[in-house]
Structure 1
Amino acid sequence: MPKSVSATNEGYEVVSKLTKEDIVLYAKEVNGLYRDFKIHFKGEVYSRPFWLSAANNPTYAPQIYYEDINKDKKKELIIILNKGYGTGVLQEEIYVYRYTNGLIDVIVDNPLAIIYKNVKTKLTTEKAEIILGDKVSIIDTKSIEPSHLFEDIGFGSIIDYEVFNKNLMVRVSGQITPAMSVGDIIITYEYRDKMYQAKAIKFITDINKNPFYGPVID
């Protein structure tokens, strides 16, 4: 339940904010991680003591969005945390809230569950194959040292959430070695049956057609 805003927050620092919306995310930094979060939302305070997010790189700081992503003409609060990053790794976690006499958590379907239910893959020393619906994508792997290849295309090392044009989206890279990706699965969510589920799933190999790398070039 919301609490009244205290005048001071001992040991807390601002990690992200939307000043115009009166939304501030506070946390304590301990050993390179933000912990013990507090959400100040329009005069109310919500504690999230178990959240964790990387604290030592501004590029990967927690993100806040306050946009209508379910087309109900009311804005939702979206908070994206970063659990870890590095070469071939980006681990983001998302929380979505609607507001009805307080912030209410709304489930976002796990992108890996969506992928495993909808995408078939195969990896050999000759080629990587991704089957999504009736579309088959084949990538040549003959130039890669066979001992470096995974048993199959791996998903989960890179999970990258964003909000584009009021659409909640996630990028999940398909990796064939620890540092090599064959492309990205891009999932666009919609609000259905009281949760956010996949509305569209695409496999994209061309950076120019991938919204996560900048404006899409047709």
Structure 2
Amino acid sequence: MKKFFVYLVIVILVCQTGKAFAVQRVVTSHIISDVWYENIFLIADKIDSMTTKNFTVQVGGGVDSIGGELLYNFPNWYNSKFAPKLFYEDINGDGLKDVIVALISGAGSGISTKEIHVLNQVRDPNTRYEEVPVESINDAVKRLVKMERKGDEITVLIGKKKYVVDYLKFGYQYSEDPPGLGSTEDYKPENGVLFGYTTVFVTIPEAGIGSLKVKYGWDGKMYRAESITFKKAEPFKAKTHY
């Protein structure tokens, strides 16, 4: 079994006041392959116990050292809490593995929002990676899904498919607000396809009535939503007391 040691690299910076302070460079996520040139390291500045920013994606390198192979710096990437998710999988069907990074943009009570980044692998003829756009879940839903509420009946319309949900069956605190989404999100590849997930809720994120699954496809310029499916949540069942 391969062992991997996470190294902290202390970098001395000088701020505008002229005072030096230390920044810890940490490996936040990694994928170790059978071949060294497919090892993936996600490295960032540690801001506090849970927050990281100023990311570098390193492709290749030994399991006991950092640096020396393909490096891609993203100073504007920011991860709010917990560890980012890192994947290495071909998601555009060209036979070359791509780097997928899901950062946490927001986290809290009932909140878990993500920010997706994809680095497509290119060989022309040398191997390199380039970040390409990904349509956000919110933009995809605005384009492909229509949701409305009439009384206690909530309708989710996707193309010719119509889903009807009775809000009262869930036993949530009553509200006349329309359905919304975006407070909980996730992205991950499955069998060579990138998917995004979000919850449909009413009033507050905890009042979920179902979830949307977004299927992405590569159109030559960006990953754009091809289709969306809705899955109804199961209403809570009251416990029977004897």
What range describes the TM-score normalised by the shorter chain of this pair?
A: 0.7 to 0.9
- 1:128 is aligned to 154
Unpaired runs of at least 5, structure 2:
1-6, 11-23, 61-68, 235-242
| Aligned partner (choices 130, 134, 149) of residue 104 of structure 1 | 130
Deviates more, 1:98-107 or 1:64-73: 98-107
Structure 1 residue 193 displacement after superposition: 3.5
The answer to whether the 8 A contact 1:69-1:167 is kept is yes
- 2:109 is aligned to 87
1:63 matched to 2:89? The reply is: no
Query: Percent same amino acid among aligned pairs?
Result: 26
- 2:57 is aligned to 39
Question: Could you say which structure has the larger radius of gyration?
Answer: 2
Structure 1 residue 8 displacement after superposition: 7.9
Distance 1:149 1:163 in 2: 36
- 1:190 is aligned to 217
Going by fraction, where is helix more abundant, 1 or 2? Answer: 1
- 2:30 is aligned to 17
Distance 2:93 2:179 in 1: 35
Q: Secondary structure at the match of 2:142?
A: helix
Distance 1:86 1:9 in 2: 29
- Matches of residues 69-80 of structure 1 in structure 2 within 5 Å? 69-80=91-102
Q: Per-residue displacement from partner, 1:3-43 (whole Å, max 9, x unpaired)?
A: xxxx9832211100012122101112213311121211121
Q: Secondary structure at the match of 1:69?
A: coil
Q: Per-residue displacement from partner, 1:107-144 (whole Å, max 9, x unpaired)?
A: 11122111112111112442211111112111112344
Structure 1 residue 87 displacement after superposition: 3.1
Kindly provide the amino acid, as one letter, of the partner of residue 194 in structure 1.
K
The answer to whether the 8 A contact 1:124-1:141 is kept is no
- 1:215 is aligned to none
1:27 matched to 2:54? The reply is: no
**Structure 1 segments (4+ residues) deviating >3 Å:** 143-146
Distance 1:91 1:137 in 2: 25
Structure 1 residue 86 displacement after superposition: 2.8
- 2:201 is aligned to 175
Distance 1:175 1:88 in 2: 11
Q: Tell me how large the CA RMSD over aligned residues is.
A: 2.0
1:113 matched to 2:139? The reply is: yes
How many correspondences in the alignment? Answer: 195
Q: Secondary structure at the match of 1:12?
A: strand
Structure 1 residue 76 displacement after superposition: 0.8
Q: Per-residue displacement from partner, 1:57-76 (whole Å, max 9, x unpaired)?
A: 3xxx1111111111111111
Unpaired runs of at least 5, structure 1:
1-6, 208-218
Superposition TM-score, scaled by structure 2 size:
0.74
The answer to whether the 8 A contact 1:88-1:180 is kept is no
